[in-house]
Amino acid sequence: MTLTINPDIYANLLVEYQPKVIKTDEENEHAIALAEKLAHRQNKTAEESVLYELLIALIEKYEDEQYPMGESNPHSMLLHLMEARNLKQADLVGVLGSSGVTSEVVNGKREISKTQAKALGEFFHVDSGLFI
């Protein structure tokens, strides 16, 4: 089904929201906020739906380029979450056990156990399956 939109109404929305190619995390956060606002709008117009789809495409393009999933594995996921939260190895000692075990896990010399995966999932507030 093709949506029929009013070009004048859509032009006014484009002027109001000014969507553009996203180049920074700040611009991405702004686009996400706008998309969420549109997503939760009751009785969304066809023009708002088209703008919403445009914002989603821009957000996905930026995030795919900035945060490629590529060769994701439990170790790379742990390092990514640590970096994203500006954590050091020492910050995980209470989660993973001793400093020696934590060092081995963080440096990829030891696999993450199911128990550690569960603890990491709770610590980072993510699905523990990311670490298995």
Question: Residue 37 falls within a domain, yes or no?
Answer: yes
**pLDDT value, residue 63:** 86
CA dihedral 111, 115, 117, 118 (to 10 degrees): 180
Residues 19-32, mean pLDDT to the nearest whole number: 93
Mean pLDDT of 83-94: 91
2: in domain: no
What is the C-alpha separation between 74 and 90, in angstroms, rounded? 19
| Residue 1 within any structural domain of the chain | no
Same domain, 33 and 17: yes
Count of other CB atoms within 10 angstroms of residue 96: 24
Instruction: Give the number of domains in the chain.
Output: 2
Q: Which two tokens mark 66? A: 């900035």
Average the pLDDT over 6-10 and give the result: 93
Instruction: Tell whether 12 is covered by a domain.
Output: yes
User: What is the percent of the chain with per-residue pLDDT over 70, rounded to a whole number?
Assistant: 95
Same domain, residue pair 59 and 83: no
Residue 112 belongs to domain with CATH number:
1.10.260.40
At 69, the pLDDT band (50, 70, 90 cuts) reads low
pLDDT at 71 over 80: no
For residue 94, what are the domain limits? 74-131
Using one digit for the tens of pLDDT, what is the confidence trace for 36-56? Answer: 999 889 999 999 999 999 999
Q: Which of 34-38, 44-48, 67-71, 73-77 has the lowest mean pLDDT?
A: 67-71
Please report which confidence band the pLDDT of residue 70 belongs to, taking 50, 70 and 90 as the band edges.
Answer: low
> d(Cα 107, Cα 12) in Å, to the nearest integer?
53
